[in-house]
Amino acid sequence: MELQTLWFILITVLFTGFFFLEGFDFGVGILLPFMSREDIERRTIINTIGPFWDGNEVWLITAGGAMFAAFPEWYATLFSGFYLALLLMLVAMIFRGVAFEFRSKHSDPRWRSFWDWSIFAGSAIPALLWGVALANFIRGIPIDAEMNYAGGFFNLLNPYALACGLTSLSIFTLHGAVFLTLKTTDALQEKAVKTAKLAWVPAVLLSFIFMVYTNYETDLYSHLGINPGIIPIFSVIALVSVIFLLQKNAAGWAFAMTGIAIAFSTITIFMGLYPRVLVSSLDPAWNLTIYNASSSEYTLGIMSIVALLFVPLVLVYQGWSYWVFRQRVSTGGKLEY
């Protein structure tokens, strides 16, 4: 296997892991102001993701670092063209992290309400903008012959990208609601189940609309060589099954299905790109690919050795942390936030 292909696969895995893991804590943050008006329940909701949210964000940092090292031209074009969107996303995520730490520093209800809504905004904005970004990856953006982005911020906010953004927002919200059914007890768990059932409807409808829209706006399905696309169909099947699993009180399986839907959707997008990494809407000859955007073979070889040594250690450590904090969180337990 070519080293460029190996690193493209690794970056796909990193983004898939990020969306799967960060997806549920984005969803929990989005639901926080709506699940309850009682502070003890809101603190319980935050505690379900308290041990995980910062570790989940490491996947994004690692994906960005891998992109910078393996495909510097991809990184440069992406971060220049998507600068304002990525800056907004970064500020939202920083503010969200601050909110987790600051809301418990004062007991004033207005203080806590402000930080609760900050957590909501810091979760909803990235959940929306990541969908916008991925849609533009496959639809195409104005890239010139010098690999420079030749458009503006509002080129990114086209109807197709916004449809994808709303889809990712709805799926992450559902993912978070199902996660809460696994991590809470008693009345809060009942609220989580009801919320998950409500969130399922827009998630499925928007996913279907986005799949149809993709057929007309991109070459994703034809580029895959699969029509209409087996993997995205499996993603929708997994998403549809969630409501039936919730009816059977099989929350663990429901969470697995929302995770599969997110993972398969991400994999579909990257498969549809390969060997491209960014599509030029100006001229297909100006597409960025794993070949014209990559580092040297020597650099990729060194990086492969480092990744082989350290990636398994990171996976083991994060798996261990989830195992340690696997218990449900109740309103009667110790609350940190």
Amino acid symbol at 114: F
CATH architecture, domain defined by 3-324: Up-down Bundle (1.20)
In the structure encoding, which two tokens stand for residue 300, read together? 């990729």
This prediction has a pTM of: 0.92
pLDDT tens digits, 159-191? 999 999 999 999 999 999 999 999 998 889 999
Structure confidence at residue 31 (pLDDT): 95
pLDDT tens digits, 65-83? 999 999 999 999 998 888 8
Distances (CA, A) of 294 to 43, 83, 334: 45, 21, 49
The ranges assigned to domains in the chain are 3-324
Q: What is the mean pLDDT of residues 105-126?
A: 91
The answer, yes or no, to whether residue 226 has pLDDT greater than 70, is no
pLDDT tens digits, 34-61? 988 788 888 899 999 988 888 888 899 8
150 by Cβ neighbours in 10 Å (0-12 / 13-18 / 19+) ranks as middle
Structure confidence at residue 227 (pLDDT): 46
Q: Where are the beta strands (DSSP E) in the chain?
A: 276-278, 288-289
CA atoms of 161 and 131, how far apart (whole Å): 7
Peptide linkage before 228 cis (omega within 30 of 0):
yes
